[in-house]
Amino acid sequence: MSRRFWGHVALAVVGTLAVVWALTLGASPSIECRGVPMAPGDVCSNAEGTRVQTYDERMDAAQAARPVIGGVGGLVAAFGVGLAVGERRRQPVG
């Protein structure tokens, strides 16, 4: 099998990992403010102090990203599988 085929398989695996992340680890993200864990009721301001986000706002943003990451991961996985199947069909048998 060619390197091209294995590249397509790797693409499918990366997409699958994104879906798995969205369904498992992404379900309970750890919310941080510049590397410091946050808890409900905490607020975080950016380095310039021009924007403030609450814990709930950050949690909502993280939860909103899950379906996007999962959906894009699914598309990438399907695309990688399609490319791998097409590549396999082009290779001579035997």
Is pTM beyond 0.95 here? no
pLDDT (tens digit per residue) in 19-29: 999 999 888 88
The alpha carbon of residue 20 and the mean position of all alpha carbons in its chain are separated, in whole angstroms, by: 9
Report the pLDDT value the prediction gives residue 27, as an integer from 0 to 100: 81
The yes-or-no verdict on residue 33 having pLDDT over 80 is: yes
Determine the Cα–Cα distance for residues 75 and 94; give it in Å rounded to an integer.
32
Q: Dihedral of CA 36/63/19/4: which sign?
A: negative
Q: 12 Cβ partners below 8 Å, 6+ apart?
A: 76, 77, 78, 79, 80, 81, 84
pLDDT (tens digit per residue) in 45-92: 987 878 899 999 999 998 999 999 999 999 999 999 999 999 888 877
Residue 35 sits in which domain range?
A: 3-90
* Domains in the chain, number: 1
